[in-house]
Amino acid sequence: MDILKHRYIYIWFSAVLFVVSLFLLLFTELNLWIDMTGWIQLEYDYTNNVDIHKVAEELETKKKTFLEDNKEVINSINVYSITWVKTVAVVVWFHSNSDEVKLDQLKKSFKSQVFEVIKSQDQTVKEAKYINIGKTFGDYIKKTAFLTLAIALVSISLYVAYAFSWIASWISTVSFAVISIITLLNDVIVATWAYIFTWIFFPEFQIDTFFITALLTILGYSISDTIVVFDRIRTNLITYAGKPGKHGKDLYEIINMSINATVRRSLYVSLALVFVLITIFIFWPDTILGFILAMLYGTIFGTFSSIFLASPMLYEANKDKKLSVYKKIEINPDDKIVV
């Protein structure tokens, strides 16, 4: 199978998909979970009776009246009763571009609305708890997530540069590191875009800390798959590069040979992981479905980039290099350094 023959199609397809994904990420309003945005939790004790479903319906109606630039500032509302006690809990998630002071005013205003709705059903209602989490906490989590991803990308690229530093003088170790970081960044951006596209139809898939964890896991899986291919390329370079006649091969043949030797392994491992993820997605509780879906997208795009993007880019970066026979540096233990 001649993978490199259609390398420009793979590279341009990945480039267009990356640019489109990045554009949508920058200009699409993200569907954030409560740990990424401001929220309040209210609890009210009562004596007689409160209809949870009726409270939820009335609050959903009032939610539509809280607007900012003609957009609703309340993402969603969750109303539930606490088991064994006469307590109703209300969790309200906000998404606002306003400063902290104005957002607090919105929260207090809606809080009073919640109290009036519950009190209309039972005059004995009393406020038992009020928790207010500001948007600064969510901003901190987002900044930490970006920093963590950046550190992971840089660390992985440095590791790849070190791991392949002794391959040979005619293949740049920098190309291995740079291509690794490009493919990893591509996997993360495209997987994030696919996740965002999904929540257009299924709003329950939101950006949360589980999603960030999934992205970091994707980095680890994708680089391990890429390194398998790169390691086979390194081995074949040492075996065939620069040798005359039938004992030698050029860079095009070496990279194609390496991809074909590892493609079956990569596909089988990825398919096994996909089957496991789909099974968990179907039968597991809703709490980690976002994590599983992000992992599923990351596995698919990571497998594609390891086979059809990383190796063709490595060829393009080094195709003009003249290959020479690999010579292992031998150290004579009898050599001494005289100071």
Tell me the average pLDDT of the chain.
84
pLDDT band, residue 296 (cuts 50/70/90) = very high
As a whole number of Å, the CA-based R_g of the chain is 28
Task: Please write the tens of the pLDDT for every residue from 170-200.
Answer: 677 888 889 999 999 999 999 999 998 888 7
Q: Is the pLDDT assigned to residue 60 strictly greater than 70?
A: yes
**Angle at which helices 310-318 and 209-240 pack, to 10 degrees?**
50
Task: Please write the tens of the pLDDT for every residue from 4-50.
Answer: 999 999 999 999 999 999 998 888 777 777 667 777 889 999 998 88
| 249 three-state secondary structure | strand
Calculate the alpha carbon distances from 237 to 173, 249, 296 in Å. 13, 9, 33
* Residue bearing tokens 């043949």: 253
Contact 87, 50 (CB under 8 A): no
Q: Is the pLDDT assigned to residue 230 strictly greater than 70?
A: yes
* Residue bearing tokens 């901003």: 139
Contact 33, 207 (CB under 8 A): yes
CA dihedral (288, 290, 293, 298) positive or negative: negative
pLDDT band, residue 320 (cuts 50/70/90) = confident
pLDDT band, residue 281 (cuts 50/70/90) = confident
Contact 30, 207 (CB under 8 A): yes
Question: Please, which residues bridge with residue 76 across strands?
Answer: 93
Predicted local confidence at residue 293, as pLDDT: 92
| Same fold? 4-30+137-318, 39-133 | no
- Model pTM above 0.85: no
Contact 78, 90 (CB under 8 A): yes
Task: Please write the tens of the pLDDT for every residue from 108-160.
Answer: 889 999 999 999 999 999 999 888 877 677 777 778 888 888 898 889 888 88
Predicted local confidence at residue 339, as pLDDT: 40
Predicted local confidence at residue 64, as pLDDT: 86
pLDDT band, residue 98 (cuts 50/70/90) = low
Q: Is the pLDDT assigned to residue 335 strictly greater than 60?
A: no
Alpha helices, DSSP H, located in the chain: 7-27, 52-63, 100-119, 135-163, 173-201, 209-240, 251-283, 289-308, 310-318
Burial class (CB within 10 angstroms; exposed 0-12, middle 13-18, buried 19+) of 215: buried
pLDDT band, residue 166 (cuts 50/70/90) = low
* 328 residue type, one letter: K
Residue spans of the domains in the chain: they are 4-30+137-318, 39-133
Calculate the alpha carbon distances from 74 to 29, 93, 250 in Å. 14, 6, 61
Q: Hey, what CATH topology would domain 39-133 get?
A: Alpha-Beta Plaits (3.30.70)
Contact 183, 190 (CB under 8 A): no
Length of the chain: 339
Bridging pattern class, strands 126-133 and 71-72: unpaired
pLDDT band, residue 261 (cuts 50/70/90) = very high
**Could you say which architecture CATH assigns to the domain 4-30+137-318?**
Up-down Bundle (1.20)
Average pLDDT over residues 66-81: 82
Q: Is the pLDDT assigned to residue 337 strictly greater than 60?
A: no
Predicted local confidence at residue 132, as pLDDT: 83
Closest CA to 188 of 337, 22, 4: 22
